């Protein structure tokens, strides 16, 4: 089977707590509830390749170099791949042809490319094509650059991305890592979608 996988909230857990605390400390947000919308807004520029995260901080939030450095470090550290999900991905890689297709900026892409498992898959990242999901351009470019994945099953956490993928002729599965009580349960569900037997 051909599988296209999103990364955030599918393969990696996203914890914005430390980033939010720094944003609040530096006066960029009033309360922690603003963190997610702030990450979505500034992350959107980064994911399109308009600028890197550090540059976005310096330009759009007008924070100093030291603050931007600390925020960038927190940005790097807010994502982690649970070992249970890693095992499912390793098992699936033995039986499926897979590609990582994600809205991601250069900083997080460098983290992904530093991981030998992630780096074993073809990668299609929004910042490199200047288009993000759910745009039609993202999926058009995915088909053009990776024709072997036409008609693949696309796994993503967001309904709007899945609708766009379906419009591009892909089968779709919605999976959200944060909807499950434990990483073990999440891995069991993701493994079920991928045809991986329970351990």
> Helices 183-193 and 83-93 sit at what angle, rounded to 10 degrees?
20
pLDDT, tens digit (0-9, with 9 covering 90-100), for 38-78:
888 888 888 999 888 888 888 877 788 998 888 888 888 88
Whether this prediction's pTM lies above 0.75 is answered by: yes
Pairing of strands 153-156, 97-102: unpaired
Domain extents in the chain: 2-13+79-193, 17-77
CATH architecture of 2-13+79-193: 3-Layer(aba) Sandwich (3.40)
Instruction: Take residue 69 and report the two structure tokens written for it.
Output: 């450095």
43 contacts 35 by C-beta, under 8 angstroms: no
Residue 135 has pLDDT above 80, yes or no: yes
Report the pLDDT averaged over residues 124-140.
Answer: 96
pLDDT bracket for residue 23 (50, 70, 90):
confident
The CA–CA distances, whole Å, from 138 to 72, 81, 131, 144, 175 equal 26, 25, 5, 10, 20
Instruction: Take residue 94 and report the two structure tokens written for it.
Output: 């033995």
Residue 133 has pLDDT above 90, yes or no: yes
């Amino acid at each position: 089977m051909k599988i296209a996988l999103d990364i955030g909230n599918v393969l990696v857990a996203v914890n914005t707590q430390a980033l939010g605390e720094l944003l609040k400390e530096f006066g960029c947000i009033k309360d922690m509830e603003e963190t997610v919308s702030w990450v979505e807004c500034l992350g959107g520029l980064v994911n399109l390749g308009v600028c890197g995260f550090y540059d976005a901080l310096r330009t759009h939030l007008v924070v100093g170099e030291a603050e931007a450095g600390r925020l960038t470090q927190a940005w790097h550290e807010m994502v982690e791949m649970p070992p249970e999900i890693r095992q499912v991905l390793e098992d699936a890689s033995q039986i499926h042809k897979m590609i990582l297709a994600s809205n991601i900026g250069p900083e997080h892409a460098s983290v992904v490319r530093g991981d030998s498992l992630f780096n074993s898959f073809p990668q299609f990242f929004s910042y490199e094509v200047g288009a993000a999901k759910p745009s039609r351009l993202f999926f058009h470019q995915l088909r053009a650059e990776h024709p072997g994945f036409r008609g693949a099953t696309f796994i993503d956490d967001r309904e709007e991305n899945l609708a766009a993928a379906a419009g591009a002729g892909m089968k779709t599965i919605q999976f959200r890592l944060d909807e499950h009580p434990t990483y073990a349960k999440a891995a069991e569900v993701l493994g079920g979608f991928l045809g991986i037997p329970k351990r």
